[in-house]
A and B are shown apart, each in its own frame.
Chain A
Amino acid sequence: MSYRASTMGKEAKPDPDTERSRKVRQKRIGDQLRRLYDDVTSEPVPDEFLSLLEQADNSSKQK
Chain B
Amino acid sequence: MSKPTLDDQAFKEELSDLIPHLRAFARSLCGNATAADDLAQEAMLKAWKARASYQAGTNLKAWAFTILRNLFYSEKRRSWRRQQLDPEVAEATLVAPDSAGSALDLLALRNGLTFLPEDQREALVLVGAGGLSYEETAEICGCAVGTIKSRVSRARKALFEILESNEARYSGDSTLSASEAFDDIMRQADDLSRDHPADARN
Contacts and interface: CB of A to CB of B under 8 A. Distances in A.
Interface residues of B, number: 34
B110 A36 contact: yes
B21 A36 contact: no
B82 interface: no
A49 B40 contact: yes
A57 interface: yes
B109 A33 contact: yes
Contacts, number: 81
B16 A40 contact: no
B146 interface: no
Interface string B155-170: 0100110011100100
Interface stretch (B68-76, B121-129, B136-144, B182-190): B121-129
Contacts of A40: 20, 23-24, 27
A49 B19 contact: yes
B160 A33 contact: no
A1 to B, nearest CB: 6
Interface size class of A (residues with CB under 8 A): 20 to 34
Given A45-B23, A56-B49, A57-B8, A32 B125 contact: no
B12 A57 contact: yes
Given A48-B41, A49-B41, A41 B48 contact: no
The 3 A-B residue pairs whose C-beta atoms are closest, nearest first, are A37-B129, A40-B24, A41-B20
Interface of B: 8, 12, 15-16, 19-21, 23-24, 27-28, 37, 40-41, 44-45, 48-49, 105-106, 109-110, 124-125, 128-130, 156, 159-160, 163-165, 168
Given A1-B165, A45-B20, 17 more contacts: A4-B164, A22-B160, A26-B156, A26-B160, A28-B105, A29-B109, A32-B105, A32-B106, A33-B125, A33-B128, A34-B128, A39-B106, A41-B20, A41-B23, A46-B37, A52-B41, A53-B48
